[in-house]
A and B are shown apart, each in its own frame.
Chain A
Amino acid sequence: MARSHKAEAHSRPQNSRARPAQSRAADLDRLIHEPIRLGIVSALAVNDTMTFNELKDLLKTTDGNLSVHARKLEEGQYVACEKYFAGRVPRTEYRLTAAGRRALETYLEHMEALIRATRET
């Protein structure tokens, strides 16, 4: 959680007061705005790596759903995926890339700016 507070703490977009909330909402990173994808990125922000099954348990989703959303994050280069065998068991492991971490921080900045903007309205 320190991570999110940290990200929020330094998030003061310079022009946040000048722009309406609706305009800011349109700027949101759609790639991580979807709940499962936001969950994946958030979980990986506090763990070096997490396996497919750990993420599935955490986010309480199905194999197919997680697979589709993880693939989209991979394509956007927000997460990196490594597949290997632990003994005879195939394992898929994910980690957050620098771009993914920046995207989450930006997303948090947007959220905070949205809240500030609507409170000022």
Chain B
Amino acid sequence: MKPAKVVSINERAIEHLKYIRDTMERAGSFTAVPGWGGILMGVSALMTGLVSGHLPSKNLWFISWLGEAAVALAIGGWAMAQKAKASQSALLDGPGRKFALSLCPGMIAGAVLTVVLFQQQLFGLMPGTWLLLYGVSVVTGGAFSVKVVPIMGLSFMGLGTIALFAPVDLANWFMAAGFGALHIIFGVVIARRYGG
């Protein structure tokens, strides 16, 4: 009988360790999205919006927002890494990995459509498409995060949909309102309620 009891203790210890690991991974979802990073991304987008509205050509406008996308990606990645480090959790394990992987399909679709729209010189459709597909990415990624994240994604989707039907002259305003203001608003909520 003794060996059976020993095995049982061993199994239970492994179960407990697994439970602790699973709980930490699931709880880690609350820190996957960086609030302060979102605010910085928003400020950066607002500055780009101010500049890009005065650029002499559509191509330059397009390039300025592509540059902004690269900057935002760098800020987001850096902020996520910092937040993961602060909470002593792995960035590419558990919820962080799920979040990043879930962001990808919408982002890739956005990149493909951007190439098509650029080839067709349909600059007016870009803000709506970008906002809509970024929103889709955030909603799917947000499935592994706190509720405010998918709500942010839905807000982007709503704004993107309106932008697709709005006059082309307002394109830059929609970019600033979405990637600027929405990022800042939700960034403040996440930073205040979910630890930075």
Closest CB in chain A relative to B171 CB, distance in Å = 36
Given A38-B19, A58-B23, A114 and B30 contact (CB-CB distance below 8 Å): no
Q: Which residues of A contact B23 (CB under 8 A)?
A: 38-39, 42-43, 58-59
Residue in contact with A50 in the complex, picked from B5, B24, B27, B90, CB distance below 8 Å = B27
Query: If A3-B88, A46-B89, A47-B87 touch, does A118 touch B195 (CB 8 Å cutoff)?
Result: no
Report if B58 contacts A (CB, 8 A). no
By size class, the interface of chain B is: 20 to 34
**Binary CB contact string for chain A from 52 to 90 against chain B (1 if under 8 A, 0 otherwise):** 001000110000000000000000000000000000000
Q: Which of B10, B89, B146 contacts A3 (CB 8 A)?
A: B89
Chain A positions within 8 Å of B89 at CB level: 1-3, 46
* Residues of B contacting A15 in the complex (Cβ-Cβ under 8 angstroms): none
Secondary structure call for the A interface: helix
B9 touches A48 (CB 8 A): no
Are A115 and B13 in contact, with the CB atoms below 8 A? yes
**CA A21 to CA B14, docked complex, whole Å:** 13
> With A and B bound together, what is the CA distance between A2 and B89 in angstroms?
5
A115–B28 Cα gap in the complex (Å)? 26
Q: Please state if A48 and B19 are interface contacts (CB–CB under 8 Å).
A: no
Tell me if B70 counts as interface (CB < 8 A to partner A).
Answer: no
- The answer to the question of A10 belonging to the interface, with a C-beta cut-off of 8 Å to chain B, is no
Task: Take A1-B94, A6-B88 as given contacts and tell me if A35 and B19 are in contact as well, using a CB distance cutoff of 8 Å.
Answer: yes
A sample of 8 more A-B contacts (CB under 8 A), given A2-B89, A121-B6, is A1-B94, A3-B89, A21-B6, A22-B5, A38-B19, A50-B27, A58-B26, A58-B27
Interface residues of B (CB under 8 A from A): 3, 5-7, 9-10, 13-14, 16-17, 19-21, 23-28, 30-31, 86-90, 93-94, 146, 195-196
Residues of A within 8 A of B (CB): 1-4, 6, 8, 21-22, 25, 35, 38-39, 42-50, 54, 58-59, 104, 108, 111-112, 114-115, 118-119, 121
